[in-house]
C-alpha cells in the first residue's frame, strides 16, 4: 500500500506529495515511466510497469516509435495503461549520468511530462525518480531538479488542469534524498 509521507498545498491550488510505495499501484490519471528513447520496456520502473500493465503497453510503445521516431527528453510519448489503475503511461526519457547537460535534460523530461499531462487535461500524475536508477543520476541532485520543476509548473499560467503530482518512490535511499531536499526547499509541511 502506498503511503503519503509529505504533502504541500501550493497557493494556486496544486498539490505536491512524496509517496512511499509502488508506482504501478497509483490510482491517478497517469503515471510516468522512466523510459529509453526507443521505449523498450526492460528493467527498473519500465519493466515493473510492463509486468503489471501487460504486453499492450509495449505494443503501443512500438507503434509510437514507428510513427514518431525515438522519444526526446523534452517530448515524452504516451500510451494506454493496460491493466494499471491509471488511464495513461507517459514515457519520459531521462538523461544517462555522464552524457553531458544532464540537469537540463532531466528538467526537460519532467517538464515535458507535466506539459503532456496538461495537454491531455489530466488532473493527477505520479512520477518516479527519473534517471536515478540504472541511468546513474545522483539522487539528491535529481530530487532538487524534479521538485523545483514540479513546483514551477504547478504555479505557472500554463497549468490549469493538473492539480496533484505524486512523487512515488520505492527504495529508502531515494526516499531519504527526496525528503532531505523537500525540507531544504521549504516544503516541510508534514502529512
Write the pLDDT tens digit of every residue in 56-86.
999 999 999 999 999 999 999 999 999 999 9
Q: At a CB cut-off of 8 Å and minimum separation 6, what does 81 contact?
A: 30, 31, 53, 57, 87, 88, 89
pTM: 0.95
> Architecture of 3-184 per CATH?
3-Layer(aba) Sandwich (3.40)
Go through 67-94 and write b for each residue having 16 or more CB atoms within 10 A of its CB, e for each that does not: eeeebebbebbbbebbebebebbbbbbb
pLDDT, position 11: 85
At 168, is the pLDDT very low, low, confident or very high (cuts 50, 70, 90)? very high
Amino acid at each position: 500500500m502506498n503511503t503519503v509521507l509529505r504533502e504541500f498545498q501550493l497557493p494556486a491550488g496544486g498539490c505536491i506529495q512524496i509517496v512511499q510505495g509502488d508506482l504501478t499501484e497509483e490510482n491517478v490519471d497517469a503515471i510516468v515511466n522512466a523510459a529509453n528513447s526507443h521505449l523498450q520496456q526492460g528493467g527498473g520502473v519500465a519493466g515493473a510497469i510492463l509486468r503489471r500493465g501487460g504486453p499492450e503497453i509495449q505494443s503501443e510503445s512500438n507503434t509510437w516509435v514507428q510513427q514518431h521516431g525515438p522519444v526526446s527528453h523534452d517530448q515524452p510519448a504516451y500510451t494506454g495503461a493496460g491493466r494499471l489503475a491509471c488511464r495513461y503511461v507517459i514515457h519520459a526519457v531521462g538523461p544517462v549520468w555522464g552524457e553531458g547537460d544532464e540537469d537540463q535534460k532531466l528538467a526537460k523530461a519532467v517538464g515535458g511530462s507535466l506539459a503532456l499531462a496538461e495537454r491531455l487535461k489530466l488532473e493527477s500524475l505520479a512520477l518516479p525518480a527519473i534517471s536515478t536508477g540504472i541511468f546513474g543520476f545522483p539522487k539528491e541532485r535529481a530530487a532538487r531538479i524534479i521538485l523545483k520543476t514540479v513546483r514551477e509548473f504547478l504555479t505557472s499560467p500554463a497549468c490549469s488542469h493538473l492539480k496533484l503530482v505524486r512523487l512515488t518512490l520505492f527504495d529508502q535511499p531515494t526516499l531519504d534524498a527526496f525528503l532531505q531536499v523537500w525540507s531544504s526547499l521549504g516544503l516541510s509541511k508534514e502529512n
